Amino acid sequence: MSALARERVPFLGVTVTPLRVEQLIPVIGDFLNDGQVHTIAGHNLHSVTLCHSDEAFFDFYQNSDVVLMDGAPVVYLWGSRNEHQGRRVEYRLGSTDWIPELFRLPQIQRVLVVGSTPEANLLGVARLQEILPDATVQGLHGSDWDQGLERQFLNLAHDFKPQLVLLGLGMPLQEHVLLRNKEALPPATYCTVGGAIDQLGGVQRLAPRWLGRMGFEWAWRLMLHPSRVASRVFVEPWILGCILARKKIQRFRKKRALKKSRS
C-alpha cells in the first residue's frame, strides 16, 4: 500500500486519502513514473456499504493506494472534526473532477479506457484524446461483461502497455475484475471510475459542480435516472445504518463478554 496518509471517517468504519485535485495530480504523476501497479478508488455510501458486506471488496479498498472521497456524506462526516471545517468541500473528488486535469501530466503517453457501451466508450475515448492530445488513447467497451471481455481486457493491457487505466464497469464489478486479476495485471495505475466514461463522453449529463459541492448531486441523478438511483438514495443509507448498528452491538457484546471473563 502507498505511504500516503489515511484518515478514518467517523461512524462509517472506513479510511480515506484526503486529497484536493491539485494534490492528486502530482500523486498520479509519481505513480506513472515508478512503473508499478497502483490503484485509485473513491468512497461513497454505496462503496462503504459494500465494504461492510463484502470482505473481498473491503480488502480492495484497504489495499488501494488512494481512496478519494467521492460522496458528500463521506466528506461531511470526515470533515466533522474542527480542523477540517470550512474547507472540506475541496476534498470531494469524483472522477470527472480530476480526469480533465490530466493534461498537467506530460509523461502520459498511453491510456486505456474500459467500460460503458461501445458508442459511449468511443465518445469517452475521443474526449480524453482532446484532454491528452499527445497521448494514445484506446478503448474497450464493457457491455455484457463476461469472461471473454475480461480476457480481452487483460490481453489489451499487456499488448498496449497503458500507463493509466480508467475502469468504468460499475461497482462492485470493476473492483472484482481488478481483484480477480491482481497477479496478472501489467504495471499501470488503475482507476475505478464508475459511470465517468458516460459523463466524459456526454452520454450522461454531469451535475453542476456547485451542486455536488453542496451535497445535492444525488438529487440531480435521481431526477435524470430515478429507476437506477432511487434505491441508493432511499434504501441503501438504511441498510448501511443497520449494518453499522449490528456491528456496534456485536463489538459491545464481545467487549462485555471479555470483561466478564476477566472478572
Banded pLDDT at 39 (limits 50, 70, 90): very high
187: β partners: none
**pTM (2 d.p.):** 0.86
Please state, rounded to an integer, the average pLDDT across all residues of the chain: 88
Task: Over range 183-201, report the average pLDDT.
Answer: 95
Instruction: Decide which of 254 and 40 is more confident.
Output: 40
The per-residue DSSP string of 80-139 comes to TSGGGTTTGGGGB--HHHHGGGGGG-TT--EEEEEES-HHHHHHHHHHHHHH-TTSEEEE
**Residue type present at position 120:** A
Whole-number pLDDT of residue 256: 77
The whole-number pLDDT of residue 3 equals 62
Residues 40-68, mean pLDDT to the nearest whole number: 95
pLDDT value, residue 210: 65
> Percent of the chain, pLDDT > 90?
67
Is residue 42 a contact partner of residue 18, using CB atoms and an 8 Å limit? no
Residue 227 binned pLDDT confidence (cut-offs 50, 70, 90): low
How large a percentage of the chain has pLDDT more than 70?
86
pLDDT value, residue 1: 44
